[in-house]
Amino acid sequence: MKKGQVSGCLELKRRTVVKSLIWRAIGIVWTWIGAYFIILLVPPTWKNAAIIATLIVIYHHSTRLIMYYFYERIWTGISWGKYDPAEDSFQPMTGHDKAYWVLGSSVAIGIIFFLIIYVAPLIKK
């Protein structure tokens, strides 16, 4: 068993951690945006906790299922941290992978700050 590998897995633990953290960040932003628009767009006659919660759950789970499929398909194309049996080693991060990582991280941080700084104060109390 190679260092950083879970027995039977064909990817590094850090690859799994990175995938998990990115998926969680996407989920937080996606759910926040959806919940915000649901609260904003629901007619006043429907504004009670049970209806709002139900709409958020439906939105969250139905859209995230589709998103997860594409998320995993994208990660399938990223070789970093995967075991390569031909070389008997794990693939290093390529320049292309690093560029995606930097771009994706920057966009995610930008969206989070936008939501906190600009959108959050617009929410009526």
The answer to whether position 4 is within a domain reads: no
pLDDT digits (tens, 9 = 90+) for 7-28: 456 888 888 888 888 899 888 8
pLDDT in tens, 66-114: 999 999 998 888 888 887 777 777 777 778 877 877 887 788 788 877 8
Burial status of residue 81 (CB atoms within 10 A of its CB: 0-12, 13-18, 19 or more):
buried
Is 11 part of any domain?
Answer: no
Q: Is residue 35 part of a domain?
A: yes
Q: Does the residue 16 lie in any domain?
A: no
Our count of domains for the chain comes to 1
Half-sphere exposure in the Cβ direction for 9 (13 Å, CA):
15
**29 lies in which domain range?**
25-78+95-122
Residue 18 in domain:
no
Residue 14 is assigned to a structural domain of this protein: no
In a domain, 31, yes or no: yes
Q: Note if the pTM is more than 0.75.
A: no
Q: Identify whether 60 is part of a domain.
A: yes
